[in-house]
Amino acid sequence: LAQARGAILAFTDDDIVAEPRWLSSLHRAFEETGADAVSGRVLPRWEGIAPGFDTDQIMAHVGTIGCLDFGEQRLQMSPGAARYWWVGSNMAVRRETLARGVGFDERLARGQDVDLFIRVARAGARIVYEPAAVLHHRVGAERLTPAAFRRWYEERGYYRVYTRPWRWSHALTVMPLYWYTDVFRQAWRWLITAGQARR
């Protein structure tokens, strides 16, 4: 960020294939909406056989696949929205927005893009989802294994712990109390499933 000189900074990954109109679509969204930040669609490009769970809902939430698709209509994020509107492979931000002291937290091993998004949103930035800015993410079979999902969610857990504000109650409970219900529920389901698998 310190070395870049453009008025708009666009980010992507090394395992992405861009549509020819990707950059021009981002630029047009900035010009037409006056947005401070713009995200676009990241669609899966399956390397091999596509899995059976490639629904729009899963694509919007499964981070290990690194895809994002909120449909064909341009959207503007409302203040206080809880939805993550971008992944690091398809995001663009005005330099002047980052000049307000919002940048990447280099201490994070994972989640720098989400962390940046949250802080840009909290700074009152206007964020737009532009469906015409399309990228394709190569998804190999190694990213669809149970081990890959466990590793991704474990790292996401470290990120959430690192970014969650400290409260004295955490010294006693380690995590918010309402999470314990979910932990016990998931553990019970696992025990039942494991027992059925041994039969």
Per-residue confidence at 172, pLDDT binned at 50, 70, 90? low
Per-residue model confidence (pLDDT) at position 73: 93
3 state SS of 74: coil
Each residue's pLDDT tens digit, 105-145: 887 777 788 888 888 888 888 999 999 999 998 888 777 77
Q: Which of 11-25, 91-105, 141-155, 180-194 has the lowest mean pLDDT?
A: 141-155
pTM of the model as a whole: 0.73
Per-residue model confidence (pLDDT) at position 5: 86
Per-residue model confidence (pLDDT) at position 80: 58
Each residue's pLDDT tens digit, 143-171: 777 787 778 777 777 777 777 777 776 66
Q: How far apart are CA 199 and CA 185, in angstroms?
A: 22
In sequence order, the 6+-apart residues with CB closer than 8 A to the CB of 136 are: 16, 17, 18, 19, 42, 43, 44, 45
Per-residue confidence at 89, pLDDT binned at 50, 70, 90? confident
The residue that leads in pLDDT, 167 or 30, is: 30
In sequence order, the 6+-apart residues with CB closer than 8 A to the CB of 61 are: none
pLDDT > 90 in the chain, percent: 27
